[in-house]
Amino acid sequence: MVAGPAQHAIAVALAERADRSRAWPGLDRRPPPPFQLVIVGDSAELARYTRGRAPGWGAGLAFPGVRTILVRADLPDLERTLQHELAHLVLRAEVRGGLPLWFEEGYASLAAGELGRLEGLEINLAVATGKVPSFQGLDGMLRGSSRSADLGYALAASAVAEIARHPVPGGLHRLLDRMHAGAGFTDALQDATGRSLDQFEEHWQRTLRRRYNLLTWLVAGGIWALIGASLGILVWLRRRSERPRRAALDLGWPPPPPQLSPDQDTGTDPVDRRPDMQ
Protein backbone atom coordinates (compact mmCIF):
# COMPACT_ATOMS: atom_id res chain seq x y z
CA MET A 1 0.00 0.00 0.00
CA VAL A 2 1.03 3.58 -0.67
CA ALA A 3 -0.36 6.34 1.55
CA GLY A 4 0.68 9.52 3.25
CA PRO A 5 0.75 9.84 7.04
CA ALA A 6 -2.79 11.26 7.11
CA GLN A 7 -4.19 8.27 5.18
CA HIS A 8 -2.04 5.52 6.71
CA ALA A 9 -4.74 4.19 9.06
CA ILE A 10 -7.30 4.15 6.23
CA ALA A 11 -4.91 2.24 3.99
CA VAL A 12 -4.23 -0.41 6.66
CA ALA A 13 -7.95 -0.93 7.35
CA LEU A 14 -8.78 -1.26 3.64
CA ALA A 15 -5.85 -3.62 3.01
CA GLU A 16 -7.00 -5.90 5.82
CA ARG A 17 -10.54 -6.02 4.41
CA ALA A 18 -9.27 -6.66 0.88
CA ASP A 19 -7.18 -9.64 1.97
CA ARG A 20 -10.24 -11.82 2.51
CA SER A 21 -11.59 -14.57 0.31
CA ARG A 22 -15.09 -13.96 -1.01
CA ALA A 23 -17.44 -15.19 -3.73
CA TRP A 24 -17.56 -13.10 -6.88
CA PRO A 25 -20.48 -13.16 -9.34
CA GLY A 26 -20.04 -16.06 -11.73
CA LEU A 27 -16.82 -17.20 -10.03
CA ASP A 28 -15.83 -19.44 -7.16
CA ARG A 29 -14.84 -18.07 -3.79
CA ARG A 30 -11.34 -16.64 -3.98
CA PRO A 31 -9.11 -13.86 -2.64
CA PRO A 32 -8.14 -11.05 -5.00
CA PRO A 33 -4.80 -11.28 -6.79
CA PRO A 34 -1.84 -9.43 -5.24
CA PHE A 35 -2.17 -5.71 -5.93
CA GLN A 36 -0.88 -2.29 -4.93
CA LEU A 37 -3.31 -0.04 -3.05
CA VAL A 38 -2.74 3.72 -3.35
CA ILE A 39 -4.73 6.08 -1.12
CA VAL A 40 -5.06 9.64 -2.42
CA GLY A 41 -6.41 12.63 -0.56
CA ASP A 42 -8.89 14.15 -3.01
CA SER A 43 -9.90 14.51 -6.65
CA ALA A 44 -6.95 16.79 -7.47
CA GLU A 45 -4.48 14.19 -6.22
CA LEU A 46 -6.34 11.44 -8.09
CA ALA A 47 -6.12 13.47 -11.31
CA ARG A 48 -2.41 14.04 -10.71
CA TYR A 49 -1.71 10.32 -10.22
CA THR A 50 -3.72 9.36 -13.30
CA ARG A 51 -2.49 12.25 -15.47
CA GLY A 52 -5.99 13.60 -15.86
CA ARG A 53 -7.62 10.33 -16.92
CA ALA A 54 -9.86 10.09 -13.84
CA PRO A 55 -13.15 12.05 -13.88
CA GLY A 56 -13.56 14.70 -11.21
CA TRP A 57 -16.42 12.76 -9.62
CA GLY A 58 -14.49 9.46 -9.53
CA ALA A 59 -14.14 7.73 -6.15
CA GLY A 60 -11.52 5.20 -7.27
CA LEU A 61 -9.71 3.75 -10.24
CA ALA A 62 -8.25 0.35 -11.13
CA PHE A 63 -5.37 -0.47 -13.48
CA PRO A 64 -5.72 -4.25 -13.93
CA GLY A 65 -2.66 -4.47 -16.19
CA VAL A 66 -0.35 -3.41 -13.36
CA ARG A 67 -2.68 -4.55 -10.54
CA THR A 68 -2.97 -1.13 -8.97
CA ILE A 69 -5.99 0.47 -7.30
CA LEU A 70 -6.37 4.12 -6.35
CA VAL A 71 -9.00 5.15 -3.79
CA ARG A 72 -9.94 8.65 -2.65
CA ALA A 73 -9.85 9.08 1.13
CA ASP A 74 -12.16 12.13 1.23
CA LEU A 75 -15.32 10.27 0.16
CA PRO A 76 -17.63 8.01 2.20
CA ASP A 77 -18.10 4.25 1.83
CA LEU A 78 -14.46 3.50 1.04
CA GLU A 79 -14.88 -0.25 1.55
CA ARG A 80 -17.55 -0.44 -1.14
CA THR A 81 -15.37 1.62 -3.47
CA LEU A 82 -12.50 -0.79 -2.90
CA GLN A 83 -14.78 -3.80 -3.58
CA HIS A 84 -15.82 -2.23 -6.87
CA GLU A 85 -12.23 -1.71 -7.97
CA LEU A 86 -11.17 -5.18 -6.75
CA ALA A 87 -13.89 -6.68 -8.94
CA HIS A 88 -12.14 -5.18 -11.97
CA LEU A 89 -8.91 -6.93 -10.99
CA VAL A 90 -10.63 -10.27 -10.32
CA LEU A 91 -12.56 -10.10 -13.59
CA ARG A 92 -9.51 -9.23 -15.67
CA ALA A 93 -7.49 -11.99 -14.02
CA GLU A 94 -10.15 -14.50 -15.09
CA VAL A 95 -11.02 -13.59 -18.67
CA ARG A 96 -9.06 -13.11 -21.85
CA GLY A 97 -9.85 -10.69 -24.63
CA GLY A 98 -11.76 -7.44 -24.63
CA LEU A 99 -14.85 -6.57 -22.62
CA PRO A 100 -17.42 -3.86 -23.38
CA LEU A 101 -17.40 -1.00 -20.89
CA TRP A 102 -21.03 -1.55 -19.84
CA PHE A 103 -20.28 -5.17 -18.88
CA GLU A 104 -17.07 -4.37 -17.04
CA GLU A 105 -18.58 -1.55 -14.96
CA GLY A 106 -21.85 -3.41 -14.50
CA TYR A 107 -20.00 -6.46 -13.19
CA ALA A 108 -17.98 -4.35 -10.73
CA SER A 109 -21.12 -2.61 -9.48
CA LEU A 110 -22.92 -5.93 -9.05
CA ALA A 111 -19.93 -7.48 -7.25
CA ALA A 112 -19.72 -4.53 -4.86
CA GLY A 113 -23.40 -4.89 -3.94
CA GLU A 114 -24.26 -1.54 -5.47
CA LEU A 115 -27.30 -2.57 -7.50
CA GLY A 116 -29.73 -2.20 -4.61
CA ARG A 117 -28.32 1.23 -3.76
CA LEU A 118 -28.37 2.38 -7.37
CA GLU A 119 -31.92 1.17 -8.09
CA GLY A 120 -33.64 4.30 -6.83
CA LEU A 121 -36.09 6.82 -8.16
CA GLU A 122 -33.72 7.87 -10.92
CA ILE A 123 -33.59 4.53 -12.74
CA ASN A 124 -37.32 4.02 -12.25
CA LEU A 125 -38.13 7.44 -13.68
CA ALA A 126 -35.65 7.07 -16.54
CA VAL A 127 -37.21 3.80 -17.65
CA ALA A 128 -40.77 5.00 -17.01
CA THR A 129 -40.21 7.95 -19.34
CA GLY A 130 -38.76 5.72 -22.05
CA LYS A 131 -35.09 6.61 -21.61
CA VAL A 132 -33.63 3.12 -21.98
CA PRO A 133 -30.32 3.38 -23.87
CA SER A 134 -28.66 0.92 -26.18
CA PHE A 135 -25.45 -0.71 -24.96
CA GLN A 136 -23.50 1.76 -27.08
CA GLY A 137 -25.42 4.63 -25.50
CA LEU A 138 -24.78 3.11 -22.08
CA ASP A 139 -21.03 3.23 -22.70
CA GLY A 140 -21.40 6.94 -23.47
CA MET A 141 -23.30 7.54 -20.23
CA LEU A 142 -20.55 5.88 -18.22
CA ARG A 143 -18.05 8.33 -19.71
CA GLY A 144 -20.28 11.35 -19.10
CA SER A 145 -21.09 13.65 -16.20
CA SER A 146 -21.60 12.50 -12.62
CA ARG A 147 -25.39 12.40 -12.99
CA SER A 148 -25.19 10.56 -16.30
CA ALA A 149 -22.65 8.08 -14.92
CA ASP A 150 -24.74 7.32 -11.81
CA LEU A 151 -27.65 6.26 -13.96
CA GLY A 152 -25.27 4.46 -16.33
CA TYR A 153 -23.79 2.36 -13.52
CA ALA A 154 -27.27 1.37 -12.35
CA LEU A 155 -28.37 0.36 -15.84
CA ALA A 156 -25.12 -1.51 -16.52
CA ALA A 157 -25.45 -3.45 -13.26
CA SER A 158 -29.02 -4.37 -14.19
CA ALA A 159 -27.80 -5.73 -17.56
CA VAL A 160 -25.18 -7.95 -15.90
CA ALA A 161 -27.74 -9.04 -13.30
CA GLU A 162 -30.02 -10.07 -16.18
CA ILE A 163 -27.25 -12.35 -17.52
CA ALA A 164 -26.82 -13.82 -14.03
CA ARG A 165 -30.55 -14.70 -13.86
CA HIS A 166 -30.19 -17.29 -16.61
CA PRO A 167 -30.28 -20.80 -15.13
CA VAL A 168 -27.35 -23.21 -15.24
CA PRO A 169 -25.63 -24.09 -17.54
CA GLY A 170 -26.06 -20.49 -18.70
CA GLY A 171 -25.58 -17.23 -16.85
CA LEU A 172 -22.43 -15.50 -15.68
CA HIS A 173 -20.62 -18.74 -14.84
CA ARG A 174 -20.99 -19.93 -18.41
CA LEU A 175 -20.00 -16.58 -19.89
CA LEU A 176 -16.85 -16.25 -17.78
CA ASP A 177 -15.88 -19.90 -18.30
CA ARG A 178 -16.12 -19.45 -22.08
CA MET A 179 -14.08 -16.25 -22.00
CA HIS A 180 -11.49 -17.89 -19.75
CA ALA A 181 -11.15 -20.58 -22.42
CA GLY A 182 -10.49 -17.90 -25.03
CA ALA A 183 -13.92 -17.16 -26.53
CA GLY A 184 -14.82 -13.60 -27.44
CA PHE A 185 -17.45 -11.72 -25.47
CA THR A 186 -20.15 -11.93 -28.15
CA ASP A 187 -19.78 -15.70 -28.55
CA ALA A 188 -19.63 -16.22 -24.79
CA LEU A 189 -22.79 -14.16 -24.33
CA GLN A 190 -24.55 -16.28 -26.96
CA ASP A 191 -23.59 -19.45 -25.08
CA ALA A 192 -24.59 -17.98 -21.72
CA THR A 193 -27.98 -16.56 -22.69
CA GLY A 194 -28.96 -18.25 -25.95
CA ARG A 195 -29.20 -14.79 -27.54
CA SER A 196 -26.95 -12.74 -29.78
CA LEU A 197 -25.71 -9.40 -28.47
CA ASP A 198 -28.47 -7.50 -30.31
CA GLN A 199 -31.13 -9.95 -29.13
CA PHE A 200 -29.94 -9.75 -25.53
CA GLU A 201 -29.94 -5.94 -25.70
CA GLU A 202 -33.58 -5.97 -26.83
CA HIS A 203 -34.47 -8.52 -24.15
CA TRP A 204 -32.82 -6.40 -21.45
CA GLN A 205 -34.62 -3.25 -22.61
CA ARG A 206 -38.00 -5.02 -22.60
CA THR A 207 -37.32 -6.44 -19.15
CA LEU A 208 -36.44 -3.00 -17.80
CA ARG A 209 -39.59 -1.43 -19.22
CA ARG A 210 -41.69 -4.21 -17.70
CA ARG A 211 -40.01 -4.05 -14.29
CA TYR A 212 -39.57 -0.28 -13.97
CA ASN A 213 -42.72 1.38 -15.24
CA LEU A 214 -44.49 4.51 -14.04
CA LEU A 215 -46.37 2.56 -11.37
CA THR A 216 -43.18 1.19 -9.79
CA TRP A 217 -41.70 4.69 -9.86
CA LEU A 218 -44.70 6.02 -7.95
CA VAL A 219 -44.62 3.15 -5.45
CA ALA A 220 -40.86 3.60 -4.91
CA GLY A 221 -41.46 7.14 -3.69
CA GLY A 222 -41.97 9.13 -6.84
CA ILE A 223 -45.51 9.97 -5.73
CA TRP A 224 -44.09 12.14 -2.93
CA ALA A 225 -41.74 13.90 -5.31
CA LEU A 226 -44.69 14.48 -7.64
CA ILE A 227 -46.88 15.82 -4.83
CA GLY A 228 -44.09 18.11 -3.61
CA ALA A 229 -43.50 19.48 -7.10
CA SER A 230 -47.25 19.94 -7.66
CA LEU A 231 -47.66 21.85 -4.40
CA GLY A 232 -44.72 24.08 -5.30
CA ILE A 233 -46.27 24.87 -8.69
CA LEU A 234 -49.70 25.57 -7.13
CA VAL A 235 -48.19 27.98 -4.58
CA TRP A 236 -46.29 29.78 -7.34
CA LEU A 237 -49.43 30.05 -9.52
CA ARG A 238 -51.49 31.30 -6.56
CA ARG A 239 -48.99 34.01 -5.74
CA ARG A 240 -48.75 34.99 -9.38
CA SER A 241 -52.54 35.30 -9.73
CA GLU A 242 -52.84 37.34 -6.52
CA ARG A 243 -50.05 39.75 -7.42
CA PRO A 244 -52.32 42.34 -9.17
CA ARG A 245 -54.87 42.24 -6.33
CA ARG A 246 -52.18 42.74 -3.70
CA ALA A 247 -50.75 45.61 -5.70
CA ALA A 248 -54.20 47.24 -5.86
CA LEU A 249 -54.71 46.86 -2.11
CA ASP A 250 -51.31 48.34 -1.42
CA LEU A 251 -52.09 51.45 -3.51
CA GLY A 252 -52.24 54.46 -1.20
CA TRP A 253 -51.53 52.39 1.92
CA PRO A 254 -50.61 53.30 4.58
CA PRO A 255 -52.49 56.65 4.54
CA PRO A 256 -50.49 59.81 5.17
CA PRO A 257 -50.53 61.13 8.76
CA PRO A 258 -53.09 63.89 9.44
CA GLN A 259 -51.89 67.47 9.33
CA LEU A 260 -52.80 69.00 12.71
CA SER A 261 -52.77 72.66 13.59
CA PRO A 262 -50.90 73.64 16.78
CA ASP A 263 -54.16 74.39 18.61
CA GLN A 264 -56.04 71.27 17.45
CA ASP A 265 -56.76 68.64 20.14
CA THR A 266 -55.92 65.10 19.04
CA GLY A 267 -58.25 63.54 21.56
CA THR A 268 -55.56 61.24 22.94
CA ASP A 269 -52.94 61.51 25.60
CA PRO A 270 -49.29 61.18 24.64
CA VAL A 271 -47.67 57.89 25.54
CA ASP A 272 -44.77 59.47 27.38
CA ARG A 273 -46.29 62.41 29.22
CA ARG A 274 -44.30 63.78 32.09
CA PRO A 275 -45.08 66.71 34.35
CA ASP A 276 -43.40 69.97 33.52
CA MET A 277 -40.33 70.56 35.52
CA GLN A 278 -40.40 73.95 37.17
Residue by residue, pLDDT tens for the chain (278 residues) are 999 999 999 999 999 999 888 999 999 899 899 999 999 999 999 999 998 888 889 999 999 999 999 999 999 999 999 999 999 999 999 998 899 999 999 999 999 988 776 555 556 656 666 678 999 999 999 999 988 888 889 899 999 999 999 998 899 999 999 999 999 999 999 999 999 999 999 999 988 888 776 544 444 444 444 455 566 676 666 666 666 655 555 555 555 555 544 454 444 443 343 444 44
What is the model's pLDDT at position 20? Answer: 86
Q: Alpha-carbon distance 131 to 125, whole Å? A: 9
What is the model's pLDDT at position 227? Answer: 52
DSSP H helix total and E strand total for the chain: 13, 5
Q: Alpha-carbon distance 261 to 239, whole Å? A: 43
What is the model's pLDDT at position 97? Answer: 87
What is the model's pLDDT at position 148? Answer: 86
User: What is the set of domains in the chain, with CATH numbers?
Assistant: 1-94 (1.10.10), 97-239 (no CATH)
What is the model's pLDDT at position 213? Answer: 60
Q: Strand 60-63 vs strand 68-72: parallel, antiparallel, or unpaired?
A: antiparallel
Query: Which amino acid appears at position 177 of this protein?
Result: D
What is the model's pLDDT at position 229? Answer: 54
Per DSSP, helices labelled H in 119-182 are: 121-128, 135-142, 146-164, 171-180
